[in-house]
């Protein structure tokens, strides 16, 4: 998990972040120069903010289970479909970003995705 940051290069709002094989091997990948993570979640790729919206813990140190990203500081977790935090926690949802995959390359659009609720 998160062994080394990856490099990025802006192109019309989409940035290439890493290839699928690397993400599958590491589960959580930090995006160098950005406060973003890319996550392998049960066959799907999710991009999100690196800082926990509760008290800014580094979610790169968290873990992914059953479709949720667990914060390393407290017991809260986030639904990786929409960023919703565990019920009862006084916090905004986790910020998610659009992802596309071309061949083996994963791209993130640097525009916020609105939670679907
Ligand atoms: S800092 Fe992440 S749940 Fe509190």
CATH number of the domain where residue 73 is located:
2.102.10.10
User: For residue 71, how far is its CA from the centre of ligand 1 (angstroms)?
Assistant: 6
pLDDT in tens, 71-107: 999 989 999 999 999 999 999 999 999 999 999 999 9
Does residue 2 sit within a domain? Answer: no
76 in ligand 1 pocket by Cβ < 6 Å?
yes
Contact 65, 82 (CB under 8 A): no
Does residue 7 sit within a domain? Answer: no
What local confidence, expressed as pLDDT, does residue 48 receive? 97
Does residue 69 sit within a domain? Answer: yes
Does residue 114 sit within a domain? Answer: no
Looking at the structure of the chain, the number of domains it has is 1
Task: Give the domain range for residue 72.
Answer: 14-109
pLDDT in tens, 22-41: 999 999 999 988 899 999 99
50 in ligand 1 pocket by Cβ < 6 Å?
no
Does residue 5 sit within a domain? Answer: no
Banded pLDDT at 115 (limits 50, 70, 90): low
As a whole number, the mean pLDDT across the chain is 88
- Cα(27)–Cα(41) distance, rounded to whole angstroms? 8
59 in ligand 1 pocket by Cβ < 6 Å?
no
């Amino acid at each position: 998990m998160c062994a080394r940051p990856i490099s990025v290069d802006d192109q019309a709002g989409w940035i290439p972040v890493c290839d699928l094989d690397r993400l599958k091997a590491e589960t959580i990948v930090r995006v160098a120069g950005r406060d973003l993570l890319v996550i392998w979640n049960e066959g799907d790729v999710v991009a999100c903010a690196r800082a926990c919206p509760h008290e800014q813990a580094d979610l790169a140190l968290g873990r992914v289970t059953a479709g949720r990203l667990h914060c390393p500081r407290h017991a809260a977790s986030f639904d990786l479909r929409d960023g919703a935090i565990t019920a009862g926690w006084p916090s905004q949802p986790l910020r998610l970003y659009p992802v596309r995959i071309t061949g083996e390359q994963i791209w993130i659009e640097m525009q916020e995705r609105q939670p679907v609720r």
